[in-house]
Amino acid sequence: MPESIKVSAVLPAIPEKVYNAWMSSEEHGRFTGSKAEISPRKGGSFMAWDGYIEGKNLELEPGKRIVQSWRTSEFPSRSPDSRIEVLFEKSEKGTRITINHSNIPDGQGKQYKQGWLDYYFKPMKRYFGKK
């Protein structure tokens, strides 16, 4: 049975800046500390964490929302791609970023929830805190 998770954090930057960094190969690589290649257009593909993560951009609303097909090299080969929806909302202290991650292979939801916190939100807080 596929799993779904939701994670959220507040980052010290405006939504447009966070969105643009997510969709930039250079900045995405800088805030994660790992190589990323991202096509910033609908239908374009992306790769992050040196190829551990890959997928396609399904819907893009600049500064507001990104929807992507998403999988890692740890997905069982027969598993379909999962789906992430990344929301960028203005908040008092910058941007509330929320990731709704669905269709995760059974038994892997907990590890990806922790992964978003450890490998995205923590380094993003440091990255945007320096700017």
pTM: 0.96
In order, the DSSP letters of 9-71 are EEESS-HHHHHHHHT-HHHHHHHHTS--EE--STT-EEEEGGGTEEEEEEEEETTTEEEEEEE
Spatial separation of the C-alpha atoms in residues 37 and 21, rounded to whole Å: 12
Beta bridge partners of 67: 59, 85
Percent of the chain with pLDDT over 90: 98
Q: How confident is the model at residue 131, as a pLDDT?
A: 57
* Residue-wise pLDDT tens digits, 74-118: 999 999 999 999 999 999 999 999 999 999 999 999 999 999 999
Q: Is the pLDDT of residue 25 over 60?
A: yes
User: Given strand 45-48, what is the order of strands in its sheet?
Assistant: 3-11, 94-104, 82-91, 65-72, 53-61, 45-48, 37-38
CATH number reported for the structural domain that contains residue 45 in this entry: 3.30.530.20
CA distances from 130 to 63, 114, 125 (A): 20, 24, 9
Spatial separation of the C-alpha atoms in residues 53 and 61, rounded to whole Å: 21
Count the domains in the chain: 1
Q: How confident is the model at residue 130 (pLDDT cuts 50, 70, 90)?
A: confident
Q: Is the pLDDT of residue 63 over 90?
A: yes
* Residue-wise pLDDT tens digits, 27-53: 999 999 999 999 999 999 999 999 999
Q: Which domain holds residue 100?
A: 3-130
Q: Is the pLDDT of residue 54 over 60?
A: yes
